[in-house]
Each structure stands twice: as structure tokens, then as C-alpha cells.
Amino acid sequence: MTKNDQNNEIAIDCFLLAGRIMMESGAETYRVEDTMLRMARSQNLEDAQSYVTPTGIIFSLGRTQPTRITSISTRITDLHRITLVNNVSRKLTSHIITLEEAYDELKKIQRTNYFLPIIIQVLAASLASSCFLVMFNGLWSDIPVAFVAGGTGLYVVTVIHAMTRVKFFSEFLAALVVGTIAFFAVQANLGTELDKIIIGSVMPLVPGLLITNAVRDMMAGHFTAGMAKGAEAFLTAFAIGSGIALVLSF
């Protein structure tokens, strides 16, 4: 293998890793493609082509180079990781760092867990649920119930997803728990407005980023990715609604 071929192999590995990290962290499809192509052109690889979907990335440096494929098996929301990859891309395109240094930084980003401890995440979800309750004109006296229900819902979805790896099942169970807590709290006169409590408590589970990305991809012309993300957002909303509906039906 010639030195040029070795450099091309490193380049493909680097660009695919950047795209994979971004897609797994919840980035828009068009942003991933644009980032990969900008990184390639910074290395004078003008014939590079990329095709990104929510479940995989196809990348090629040109007709004379082999096409590489990488699969996307997990998708979470980690905007900090997306920002870090964008920073690496900007430094590479500005020639502040070399391709090898960029690849090393990306591997470090992939290995590092940037999520806060679960207790901090639960506390943040509890506070967010309480704030959403107030925003939806709920009673201030219902804040403690929304605080507990929202935090518990996020904890359940995190634990169940880690155990089963089935996204929609974990969201269904989390919504079921949220609805149950809200219902029995109102029955025990610990809360007043059941609907406002439920709405505020399920907000941390709502797929807001998915819906936003689906619309942005559709507007950018990535109809396949936009429809796929839209379908995923619909299934998530359906799972949440089903969990709440099951509680209310009894």
C-alpha cells in the first residue's frame, strides 16, 4: 500500500467517525453530510461524496477509491458531542490541526461519556417538569407532584432502555409510571389538575429534537431522512400517549 493510499484510509476513517458520532448524537442529516464534505475538501479531496441516513453512512473519496459504509445502531441526544465534532471540523478546515490529530480527537470524543450523573439528569427533568406545569397555567400547589412524576419518568426511561434496548417500550413504561403517579396523587388530594400535571411531567420524554431535525432535513431536501425521523418521532409520541391513555382508561 502506498503512502497516498494510507493517507486516504486515514481520511475515510476520520470522516466516517465524525459523521457517525454526529448521527449517534442526534445531529441533522444535512449537517452531517456538510461536515464530512468540508473536512474532505480541506484535504484537497474534491471528489468526495457522502450519503447519510439515520441508520447508516456511505462515503467515498471518488471513483478510484473504495466506498466505505458504517452503520448507526444507536441514536441519543448529546448536543455537546455534536459541538465538539464541529470544533474539530473547523480546526481541520482552518488547518490548525492535521488529519491525524483530528482523528485522534474524534476517537477521544467517541470514547468519552459526556452525560451528567443520572441523579443530576433526574433533578433537571424534575425541575423542567415543574416549570412546564407553570408555563401551561397549572396550579403552583401541583408543582411537587409534577416534580416527582417528571423525575421518576426520566429515571424509568433511562433504566428500562439500558436493560432492554427497546426505545419505544421504555418510553411507554415511563409514560405509564408518570400517569400512575399523577393519577394517584390527585386521588389522594396531593394534586388538583390531573391534565396539567401529566402534560408537564411528560415533557422531558417528548421527542422535540427528533421533530425539529425531521422538519429541518425535509426543508433541506433530505426527504428519506426527514420521513424516517418523523416516523421515529411519531412512534415515540404514540408510545407516550399510549402509556398515559392506559392509565386514564382505568
Provide the pLDDT for residue 7. 74
Which distant-in-sequence residues (6+ apart) come within 8 Å of 190 by Cβ? 144, 145
Provide the pLDDT for residue 18. 94
Q: Is 84 exposed, middle or buried (0-12, 13-18, 19+ CB in 10 A)?
A: buried
Provide the pLDDT for residue 5. 60
Provide the pLDDT for residue 73. 83
**Residues of the chain below pLDDT 50:** none
Provide the pLDDT for residue 55. 87
pTM for the structure as a whole = 0.85
Provide the pLDDT for residue 223. 86
